[in-house]
Amino acid sequence: MSKSLVVITGASSGIGEATARKLSAEGYPLLLLARRVEQMEALNLPNTLCRQVDVTDVQAIAAAVAEAEQQFGPVDCLINNAGMMLLGLADEQDPAEWQTMFNVNVMGMLNGIHVVLAKMKARKSGTVINISSIAGRKTFPNHAAYCGTKFAVHAITENIREEVADDNVRFITIAPGAVETELLTHTSSDAIKAGYEEWKQGMGGVIAPQDIANAISYAYNQPQNLCIREIVLAATRQQP
């Protein structure tokens, strides 16, 4: 392959799907990981391996990466996009929802990093892009646990970036505001979902997954000696 392997988690819809389409069009071979393999396969992208993987299963990630590397060569970029947004108040929300979010948003990200980072450091090259949120920079009503996971994404990304900078490995945080994806559908409270939709309409609509894919492509395609440490992007009329 003329270009190096890119791994995308949560690639079956939304930001992951848009990023897969974007990077495939740029000629990158891809390993797409998500629980819904049929939706990834339906993209019908060239030089792409699709595997049904839960990011909380580090062994499953490792097996899929090993298979893809055998076919396309070493992973040059990991995009940790898989995520859950389950909103609620701390005294009302089911604690099981908190556990789910931390397992996917934090442990899932760390699992992917654990699988690819040692080889990147050994090669003195590689990029890890972690999809966080503006909710990783400030708090929002009903977002306590979700904000906790995204603040963790910000902190972990910056911490490891400093650790591997001398190994010429880049760590990048992408922090979108509200995006038109399936993320909100995971929330169980109809009242919270209705309020969120009203907020989106009040700002005249939110940004599209393609906008995030473009930002990811921009950051990744910089020379290896340039690290775009963080990109924050949102609809112009989104105030927080």
Catalytic residue ranges: 146
Q: Can you give the three-state secondary structure of the chain, one letter per residue?
A: CCCCEEEEECCCCHHHHHHHHHHHHCCCCEEEEECCHHHHHCCCCCCEEEEECCCCCHHHHHHHHHHHHHHHCCEEEEEECCCCCCCCCCCCCCHHHHHHHHHHHHHHHHHHHHHHHHHHHHHCCEEEEEECCHHHCCCCCCCHHHHHHHHHHHHHHHHHHHHHHHHCEEEEEEEECCECCCHHHHCCCHHHHHHHHHHHHHCCCCECHHHHHHHHHHHHCCCCCCCCCEEEECCCCCCC
Phi, psi of 13 (to 5 degrees): -165, 175
Task: State which amino acid sits at residue 94.
Answer: D
* Selection from 77, 104, 138 nearest residue 10 by Cα: 104
Contact 140, 89 (CB under 8 A): no
Report the Cα 70 to chain-centroid distance in Å. Answer: 24
Question: Would you say 184 and 193 are in contact if contact means Cβ atoms under 8 Å apart?
Answer: yes
